Structure 1
Amino acid sequence: MKSRAGTPPVLYSYASMQQRSGGGMRWRECVAVLGAAAMVVFVVAHSLLPGARVGDLGDVVSPVLRLRRARREEAAMPSSEKTVGEIGDEADGFPWSNAMLQWQRTGYHFQPDKNYMNGMESITSDDGIFRCKSSCVLSPRLALCLEEETDWQWLAAFFAVFLFVCLAEKETDHLLLTCSGDMHACMHADPNAPMYYRGWYHFFYQYNPEGVTWGNISWGHAVSRDMVHWHHLPLAMVPDRWYDINGVLTGSATILPDGNVVLLYTGNTDTLAQVQCVAEPADPHDPLLRTWIKHPANPVLFPPPGTYKKDFRDPMTAWFDKSDNTWRTMIGSKDNNGHAGIALMYKTKDFVKFELIPRPVHRVEGTGMWECVDFYPVRGNSNSSQEELYVLKASMDDERHDYYALGKYDAVTNTWTPLDPEADVGIGLRYNWGKLFASTTFYDPAKRRRVMWAYVGETDSNRTDLAKGWANLQAIPRTVALDEKTRTNLLQWPVEEIETLRHNATDLSGITISTGSVFPLHLRQAAQLDIEASFRLNTSDIAAHNEADIGYNCSTSGGATNRGALGPFGLLLTNGHSEQMAMYFYMSRSLDGDLRTHFCHDESQSSLARNVVKRVVGSTVPVLNGEALSARILVDHSIVESFVMGGRLTATSRVYPTEAIYEAAGLYVFNNATGSTLIVDKLVVHEMHSTPMQLDLFARD
């Protein structure tokens, strides 16, 4: 997407719209309403001209109504669902504008639009927010549904507005006029049941069709031929039974040998107990699997004895065990004795009757509840003759990060043993540094690869999310494989299909950056990029610096502004003065003289807004002899994903700039090291096309 010609017009400032105290509505205000209604008629008349449509005014709902609703939702929202601390009205003290908030929406990541799947045919209200397929709101309690594009209906609507607002309302806020193709904000979260079925990639996800915070959890559903261009389908499942009335929670898909599909999912019951349930497609011959039926035997599993009712969730994809001809699945849980995270294994022959295998597959003291457990074999490349290893992964409910470990699995004893006990699940390797959670993988038979999905939450305030009308997005799907060079870690890499979005490549390879320097890259735009970079420091400069630097840590060492002999150096997203997001390497020497390489994301100066989380995240990454320092960085408006050293380390950040947006945003190479020049062996920057979600409910083969 090319940069826009100038900043989009600001329809109104979010900060300027403060609530008015209640009181009787005077006739002079009715005159104002009459004038506003006349403007509506004028705008509508224009919209009825050839080529125009009702939604042309935009789709930003009144922030006053949304911010009010956010205050109510905050009171009912579980504290673990948001990491931003807020104190009263000061949490939204920054004057966000439409231009700033609209810029945050991504161009090529999976991100549902606002409540398109649950559009209302007539006027309804929810906490003071009125909505219909297309509407104009003139007060918190009055809306017009603009379904038919006929002049007489608009005139009737005009007089209805006047009469109802002027004569019926006892108190009012100041006049609001917003137009929207959909007035309902939405939230989505955990990825569920990804699979490849009859030529289509299917992706389900936790989705709240009624708000931007956690609640009313249903399963959204989308399909794609390439995991890049998506078609939305109707909701797959909604909370409508006693056993899932408080949420259709995370689950998985298992494709049976006969081609049928079984969904296993956690139901949040009327008593908030977590139980396991089964659903099947109404028509398994439909490649889009548009309709799902919950099994009459539900729930098929209850929390086992000794397990707290809220600590039993997220069944993973089942696999077939030939030793006893049963299907096996894992479910995450917690043992309060030692605050241990545990993985429970069940076996079944029909997905209705399950048997708990007596001892947990694995447990780690002090790690707390394990969510979204995943378990799969990795062998690296197909020609490897070395022993197959197994990945055990869990999402830590206590700290909201995803951990994994490599180990060996004994199916006879039902035990998994980590290769390195010091790097066990929850205390060792992480899938990602920064913001990423609830990951899950599936095997793609079409390309013989394992693919990972994970959701990336917001790090701004709840009220800002409500003003935007959406919350959360999915990370780019990643392939997962064993690193055959080290055999101690995984490699994650964006699926190859993402590269089809590249265009307008700029090659700046071969430049040299002196110490304390910044080099601007003259690009058409810096909002949607795929960056391939490879750096190295001058060899003689490295040799000249033998002093140990053992204290460096991405999170605590001052970020990109803290200068050392051999770092930091890398890339900056910035407007050149007030805001910057740094993705950088830092090299240090350990006590034994070996070099240690760190890769970090410095979000600390990424936004002038105070009500967002801004951290420095990252860790050390293995670099073998002869390897250049390489990174691939995906930039998509408010998300930055880095894949370092071929995917040995990944980092993900959410950023909310207020000035470094649109044509003001730029990309720079920087070298803040004090003791070495920087050689940029490779720097190729690709602009990325957008992939708008297709609202095509009838996509066919």
Structure 2
Amino acid sequence: MTSQTLREARKYEETFEKMIAEEERPAFHLSPRTGWMNDPNGFSWYQGKYHLFYQYNPYNSYWGPMHWGHAVSEDLLHWEYLPAALAPDEIYDRDGCFSGGAVTLPDGRQLLMYTGVVNERQPNGGHTEVQTQCLAVGDGTDYEKYENNPVLDEKDLPEGSSRNDFRDPKIWQDEDGTYCCVIGNRAADESGQVLLYTSQDGFRWEFKSILASNHNRIGKMWECPDFFRLDGKWVILTSPQDMLSQGFEYHNGNGTLCLIGDYDKETGKFIEESDQSIDYGIDFYATQTLLTPDGRRVMIGWMQNWDTCNHRRKHEEAWFGQVSLPRELSIQNGRLCQKPIRELEAMRCNRVAFENLTFSGNIYPEGLRGRRVDMEIVVRPVEGCDMYRKFAVRFAQNDQYQTSFSYRPGESVLKVDRKFSGSRRAIIHQRRSKVLCKDGVLKLRIILDRFSVEAFINDGEQVMTAVLYTDQEADGIYFSADGTVSIDVVKYDLL
């Protein structure tokens, strides 16, 4: 039985979606049907399609009462909106249906697991959020909340753990049929931990272990955890809040973290071997992964940063928030490696290529334009010349605007810079990353959509992501060098 709250949300989104023209949206990155989007949820393969839900306020283009928006796709690039799946309409989730995951049950129904939020009044007159884990079951369009919600609450927490920061369940089914989920939580030392729970039927859950603990090393609370096996290793992905930078590896604020290691299934303990950022750019948070039917581990994230949400004049815009390009994951030389999903190659057309372009200063190769672009660049020093001091590629460019990636081989540092992208806000516009380049040779694959750029560095060893709301008329692409370089360029339009 659909609640009045959900019916109203569905009616509203159906009406107001029509007011957003197709060219006002990203071409192949999912944005909200209308209003606000943050974390991707319930990323799954169900009934022959990819399903993606998302944190959603249909009524305004800023954060508000959290619903679950819903879209489906056959290729993870072209999306069809379905009606909103969840609304905050029960006593245990009246202040928000927060992030979660999805799994298919043996009877063919889809099970959603999400965090229900209640703002509880305190004796001093203030309020505090209490977070519990809840279920809903449905057919891919309509979902009914479980009569015994919530299924996990404060009594299911290890001693000293916070009931206020207990959220974002990621659910999957193990090879032996057991259902598992990881949940982000704050420990007694005020820092993040990932909790592991198990269930035999997907409905009755019990605490298994503290899978991993932060001990105040990397940020504070760990949000949106994910846990999976990849190329013989075990991987935890999570999004820490309140990070301090550690050289070039982590940046201040809210960021992303990948832990690679081993897993003791008996004790439910993760044995950490290495850590790294997931994305080194400006706008990337709250990852989720799925296993495709052909066995690829694919990740997406919210292509935004909580500290840059004033980038657009949200009260004047019909939508806010995008999901990143889906990325195929692997582990290479002990590091997480990401490549654009291979389905993107089917969208390529209008190939333009240049080989061994040797220059210093600026160069404007003919035919290099566009705001929906897949471009591969190899940069190298020229034999007989001194090592170049700086190389830059500039795009979304005209007389007024430009965004750039620039590389200094002497420092092995790559920088993204969007301060001339048309933003009227004093937000983060630059970020730098230490990249692993040999002898001044750099490989970049740059994917442009109307309102974003994602750069895959050295075959996906690192990625840098940023949103940019530059006027679409700014579509120039050119290169500059301090010193002499030789470059190869292959550029496609994406249609």
- Specify the TM-score bucket, using the shorter chain as the normaliser: 0.7 to 0.9
Question: Residues 524 and 538 (structure 1 numbering): CA distance in 2 closer, same or farther, change over 3 Å?
Answer: closer
Query: CA–CA distance in 2 between the matches of 1:521 and 1:580?
Result: 16
1:567 aligned to 2:389? yes
Query: CA–CA distance in 1 between the matches of 2:22 and 2:137?
Result: 39
Question: Residues 327 and 103 (structure 1 numbering): CA distance in 2 closer, same or farther, change over 3 Å?
Answer: closer
Q: 1:329 aligns with which of 174, 181, 186?
A: 181
Describe the superposition over 1:422-459 as per-residue Cα deviations: whole angstroms up to 9, x where unpaired.
x3xxxx433342211111101112x2101111111273
Report the structure, 1 or 2, having the larger helix content: 1
**Higher relative CO (CA 8 A, sep ≥ 6), structure 1 or 2?**
1
Mean CA deviation greater in 612-621 or 409-418: 612-621
1:307 aligned to 2:157? no
1:309 Cα deviation from its structure 2 partner: 2.6
Letter in 2 for 1:493: K
Query: CA–CA distance in 2 between the matches of 1:365 and 1:530?
Result: 40
Query: CA–CA distance in 2 between the matches of 1:376 and 1:292?
Result: 27
1:604 aligned to 2:411? no
1:443 match: 291
Q: Report if the CA contact (8 A) 1:244-1:270 is conserved.
A: no
Query: CA–CA distance in 2 between the matches of 1:521 and 1:246?
Result: 54
1:490 Cα deviation from its structure 2 partner: 1.2
Question: Residues 336 and 239 (structure 1 numbering): CA distance in 2 closer, same or farther, change over 3 Å?
Answer: same
Mean CA deviation greater in 364-373 or 457-466: 457-466
1:686 aligned to 2:487? no
Q: Report if the CA contact (8 A) 1:391-1:406 is conserved.
A: yes
Query: CA–CA distance in 2 between the matches of 1:102 and 1:412?
Result: 51
1:493 aligned to 2:339? yes
1:586 match: 408
Query: CA–CA distance in 2 between the matches of 1:192 and 1:254?
Result: 12
Query: CA–CA distance in 2 between the matches of 1:308 and 1:331?
Result: 12
Query: CA–CA distance in 1 between the matches of 2:443 and 2:492?
Result: 16
Q: Report if the CA contact (8 A) 1:321-1:328 is conserved.
A: no
Q: Report if the CA contact (8 A) 1:104-1:638 is conserved.
A: no
1:316 Cα deviation from its structure 2 partner: 0.9
Q: 1:107 aligns with which of 27, 36, 51?
A: 27
1:104 Cα deviation from its structure 2 partner: 6.6
1:510 aligned to 2:320? no
Q: 1:298 aligns with which of 149, 155, 169?
A: 149
Pairing 1:83-94 to 2, within 5 Å after superposition? none
1:216 aligned to 2:65? yes
TM-score (norm 2): 0.85
Query: CA–CA distance in 1 between the matches of 2:106 and 2:329?
Result: 24
Question: Residues 358 and 573 (structure 1 numbering): CA distance in 2 closer, same or farther, change over 3 Å?
Answer: closer
Q: Report if the CA contact (8 A) 1:194-1:252 is conserved.
A: yes
Pairing 1:139-538 to 2, within 5 Å after superposition? 186-256=35-105, 259-271=108-120, 272-281=129-138, 283=139, 289-303=140-154, 304=157, 305-320=159-174, 322=176, 326-337=178-189, 339-366=190-217, 367-379=219-231, 388-398=232-242, 399-420=253-274, 423=275, 428-445=276-293, 447-457=294-304, 459=308, 461=310, 464-483=313-332, 486=333, 488-514=334-360, 517-523=361-367, 525-538=369-382
- Aligned Cα RMSD in Å? 2.5
1:321 Cα deviation from its structure 2 partner: 6.5
Describe the superposition over 1:623-667 as per-residue Cα deviations: whole angstroms up to 9, x where unpaired.
368x94211101112211101111111011122335xx41x4310
1:163 match: none
2:462 match: 649
1:256 Cα deviation from its structure 2 partner: 4.0
1:147 match: none
Q: Report if the CA contact (8 A) 1:189-1:473 is conserved.
A: yes
Query: CA–CA distance in 1 between the matches of 2:367 and 2:279?
Result: 32
1:665 match: 475
Letter in 2 for 1:331: I
Query: CA–CA distance in 1 between the matches of 2:396 and 2:54?
Result: 33
Query: CA–CA distance in 1 between the matches of 2:211 and 2:303?
Result: 30
Question: Residues 476 and 575 (structure 1 numbering): CA distance in 2 closer, same or farther, change over 3 Å?
Answer: closer
Describe the superposition over 1:30-54 as per-residue Cα deviations: whole angstroms up to 9, x where unpaired.
xxxxxxxxxxxxxxxxxxxxxxxxx
Query: CA–CA distance in 2 between the matches of 1:103 and 1:518?
Result: 31
Which of 1 and 2 has greater Rg? 1
1:577 Cα deviation from its structure 2 partner: 4.1
Give ranges in structure 2 of 5+ residues lacking alignment.
1-14, 121-128, 243-252
Describe the superposition over 1:260-297 as per-residue Cα deviations: whole angstroms up to 9, x where unpaired.
4321111112533110011111x4xxxxx111111101
1:102 Cα deviation from its structure 2 partner: 10
Query: CA–CA distance in 2 between the matches of 1:345 and 1:465?
Result: 37
TM-score (norm 1): 0.61
Query: CA–CA distance in 1 between the matches of 2:469 and 2:78?
Result: 25
Q: Report if the CA contact (8 A) 2:371-2:396 is conserved.
A: no
Query: CA–CA distance in 2 between the matches of 1:638 and 1:612?
Result: 18
Q: Report if the CA contact (8 A) 1:233-1:290 is conserved.
A: yes
Q: Report if the CA contact (8 A) 2:391-2:407 is conserved.
A: yes
Query: CA–CA distance in 2 between the matches of 1:534 and 1:197?
Result: 39
Question: Residues 574 and 670 (structure 1 numbering): CA distance in 2 closer, same or farther, change over 3 Å?
Answer: farther
- Secondary structure, counterpart of 1:498 in structure 2: helix
Query: CA–CA distance in 2 between the matches of 1:395 and 1:639?
Result: 21
Question: Residues 225 and 358 (structure 1 numbering): CA distance in 2 closer, same or farther, change over 3 Å?
Answer: closer
Describe the superposition over 1:399-418 as per-residue Cα deviations: whole angstroms up to 9, x where unpaired.
22111121111112221122
1:539 Cα deviation from its structure 2 partner: 4.2
Question: Residues 472 and 507 (structure 1 numbering): CA distance in 2 closer, same or farther, change over 3 Å?
Answer: same
Give ranges in structure 1 of 5+ residues lacking alignment.
1-54, 61-100, 115-185, 284-288, 380-387, 543-564, 589-595, 690-701
Question: Residues 359 and 402 (structure 1 numbering): CA distance in 2 closer, same or farther, change over 3 Å?
Answer: closer
Report the structure, 1 or 2, having the larger strand content: 2
Task: Report sequence identity in percent.
Answer: 28
1:361 Cα deviation from its structure 2 partner: 3.3
Question: Residues 225 and 600 (structure 1 numbering): CA distance in 2 closer, same or farther, change over 3 Å?
Answer: same
Query: CA–CA distance in 2 between the matches of 1:333 and 1:408?
Result: 21
Letter in 1 for 2:288: T
Letter in 2 for 1:263: L
Question: Residues 410 and 231 (structure 1 numbering): CA distance in 2 closer, same or farther, change over 3 Å?
Answer: same
